[in-house]
Structure 1
Amino acid sequence: MIRYELGGTDLGDVRFAVSPLNELVLSLRAWRHPGLFPLHLPWLRDLASVRDQLDDAVLLALTNERGWTPDFLSPRPHSPLTRLDDELARLAGTDPAAVRRDLRAVHGTTPLPPPLRGSGPRVLARIVAALRDYWQRCFAPHWPRMRALLEGDVTYRGRRLAQGGPAAMFAELSGTVRLAGRVVEVRLPNAEVRYTRVVTDGLTLVPTLWTWNASAPIAPEEPPMILYAARGLATLWQPQTLPAPGAVAELIGATRAGLLRHLETPASSTELASRLGVTPSAVNQHLRALHAGGLLITARHGRSVLYRRSDLGDRLLGLSTETPSPGPSAARRTGRAPRRPGRPT
């Protein structure tokens, strides 16, 4: 069990982030055990067509039969908008001693796999090159869809943290995580990994698409971090529909009404297009119209423009789902006069 002792239970001790490198490395578990990742089979089928163009000897050596991966390949991200290029640059500067230590922790006392033998700098350079190529061929085309799901999870968890408090939020992450007083406990399958660490610079929570239970760094000197399964994985590779309330659909059209319903949480046009299986230009046309009508608001995050439903959009959807008050005809049928506003009954 790993125990992270927080300085307090206020919101400042906990932050959320997304790591493209974590997702890239953890996905290698599905290479070894595709049957354990049935929801990713559409992606795995696409991967099969380019696998012979990758340095799969190195990539497969980065995980073992238990699904462990080296800690140095899972650096703590600092933002929900972390970029892979930044993470690979940090990875390239890893201390060779840490590389050897973490590879030994994964593969035990047995000799390291042949692709991981040799001088630390040379092995690290080959790992970085293999991961970069893997990203370009297998991840980059799908990353907007993956990132949208991960960022949606971060938005949801942040709201639960603000509304229900830390204990409720941690309890929902996984059955293996709980907050007991000021201590966050993470139960790992390997009972040999046990340490307690006092958190002085924040605990980072990272959603991932490639785990069933929560996990944390094996080495106690690594920054405090918990990886947990993101919500909505079953929908990742399926085109999403746009449920549209009837009254609003008649007013502004089914597609725009569906987008309005969808944008309870922020999303970019690229992310929406990926989720819905349409082109960004088609989505942009509708988003511009909804924004011009005051139904959406925008905010810039890095290079992306995020859209979210405005207060006016909330009210429009709310009105469309309200039950109409009985009119004169209903009053005649019941034999009662319609109630006047403000009068008690």
Structure 2
Amino acid sequence: MITIRLDAAAVSRVRVAVSPVMEAVGLLRLAAAGRAHPIFGDPGAAARFALRDPDVRAVAAALGTEDAWDFPDLLTPRPLPVRDVLSDQLERLRATDEARVEAQLTDMHRLRRWIPTDGFPARAAAGLARFFAVAMADQWPAHLTMLEGDVRDRAVQMATGGVGALLSSLHTRATWTGEAVLVRCGSEVHVDSTGQELVIAPSAMCWPDLLVQSQDPTDVVLFAPARSLGTPRPHRGVDRLIGPTRARLLNDLETPRSTGELAARHSLAAATVSHHLSVLHESGQVTRHRDGRRVFYQRADARVLA
């Protein structure tokens, strides 16, 4: 479980923004590993051609080739509210101090080979700039338009439902407790972001995953899968048996959630969610318990969607 603790000051500084460098890193990761994106498919010949550049290969080496998204956070500085976000991100990457480079590259214990830290920020910035120009520049306007639409949707959600509604709807693995963002994963990580800025960055390249950037408490970013690409569907058999909406709700009840939280996460009316939960409860698919004035539901058998 990753726990990102926020105080009132941090909550007041939550914002949503596009991270161009993360999109470049995501596509480069696929190209270097010879994998296809689950929606966009093959990274393309231009992406593979860009890997001939030694600086691009230096970045690819830092990404590793495993399934896990495990690479140094310094590669993806949080997007700031500036006119040219990509140039600003690459400049801040280039200016990364040696101590941070050493700490983060050393910490990436899954890297398949040793990476020299001397001059790495400059090489990484040059490599990402080269990769973006060769593999992404032509498609970037359309890609950016899609992500900016996601930013607007989340901004409306935050304006109408509050920060809690935004943080509760990032991903099925994420929960907002009122004091912390909890992200289910295979390790225990605690991040104290009190007083710091938290950026939510919709991403097409990380879809359908939720990525947490937390090595530096002052540079925390949650890369959330772009909503316009849809959500991963639950098991097709369950979908056909109980219907797509109930299947999605059931798929999201690995941990206890209230009616209001589910409504926010799935953009449904609370009354609609309540009806589906009643049916699921009556059929024995979910359990429920009361905590004060709130009722929480949880999947009765975690193996039901296996």
SS at match of 1:206: strand
SS at match of 1:4: strand
1:156, distance to aligned residue in structure 2 (A): 0.2
**Contact 1:62-1:70 within 8 A present in 2 as well:** yes
Is 1:227 aligned with 2:223? yes
**Contact 1:208-1:227 within 8 A present in 2 as well:** yes
1:179, distance to aligned residue in structure 2 (A): 0.9
Q: Which residue in 2 is equivalent to 1:54?
A: 53
Q: Which residue in 2 is equivalent to 1:176?
A: 173
Q: Which residue in 2 is equivalent to 1:186?
A: 183
Q: Which residue in 1 is equivalent to 2:94?
A: 92
**Contact 2:19-2:201 within 8 A present in 1 as well:** yes
Question: What amino acid maps onto 2:59 in structure 1?
Answer: L
Is 1:158 aligned with 2:155? yes
Change (3 A) 1:110 1:35: closer
Question: What amino acid maps onto 1:165 in structure 2?
Answer: G
Q: Which has the higher contact order (CA 8 A, sep 6+)?
A: 2
**Contact 1:7-1:13 within 8 A present in 2 as well:** no
CA separation in 1, counterparts of 2:192 and 2:91? 27
SS at match of 2:176: strand
Is 1:134 aligned with 2:131? yes
**Contact 2:176-2:182 within 8 A present in 1 as well:** yes
CA separation in 1, counterparts of 2:228 and 2:7? 32
CA separation in 1, counterparts of 2:51 and 2:213? 31
Change (3 A) 1:52 1:206: closer
Question: What amino acid maps onto 2:122 in structure 1?
Answer: A
CA separation in 2, counterparts of 1:67 and 1:17? 20
| Unaligned ranges ≥5, structure 2 | 231-306
State the TM-score, normalizing by the size of structure 1.
0.59
Mapping for residues 174-323 of structure 1, pairs under 5 Å: 174-188=171-185, 190-191=186-187, 193-211=188-206, 212-233=208-229
* Residues 151-160 or 24-33, more deviating: 24-33
Q: Which residue in 2 is equivalent to 1:101?
A: 103
Change (3 A) 1:60 1:177: same
Change (3 A) 1:178 1:206: same
CA separation in 2, counterparts of 1:110 and 1:63? 9
Change (3 A) 1:162 1:176: same
CA separation in 2, counterparts of 1:92 and 1:208? 23
Q: Which residue in 2 is equivalent to 1:149?
A: 146
Q: Which residue in 1 is equivalent to 2:3?
A: 3
**Contact 1:6-1:13 within 8 A present in 2 as well:** no
**Contact 2:4-2:193 within 8 A present in 1 as well:** yes
Q: Which residue in 1 is equivalent to 2:300?
A: none
CA separation in 2, counterparts of 1:198 and 1:125? 28
SS at match of 2:158: helix
1:154, distance to aligned residue in structure 2 (A): 0.6
Deviations 1:218-263 (A, max 9, x none): 42544232111112237xxxxxxxxxxxxxxxxxxxxxxxxxxxxx
Deviations 1:135-185 (A, max 9, x none): 111121111111111111110001111222233322221011111122221
Question: What amino acid maps onto 1:232 in structure 2?
Answer: S
**Contact 1:177-1:187 within 8 A present in 2 as well:** yes
Q: CA RMSD in A?
A: 2.6
CA separation in 2, counterparts of 1:220 and 1:48? 30
| Unaligned ranges ≥5, structure 1 | 235-345
SS at match of 1:153: helix
Change (3 A) 1:178 1:200: same
Question: What amino acid maps onto 2:4 in structure 1?
Answer: Y
CA separation in 2, counterparts of 1:9 and 1:94? 26
Is 1:23 aligned with 2:19? no
CA separation in 2, counterparts of 1:136 and 1:59? 15
Question: What amino acid maps onto 1:215 in structure 2?
Answer: L
Number of equivalent positions: 226
Change (3 A) 1:219 1:40: same
SS at match of 1:125: helix
CA separation in 2, counterparts of 1:168 and 1:80? 26
State the TM-score, normalizing by the size of structure 2.
0.66
Change (3 A) 1:69 1:2: same
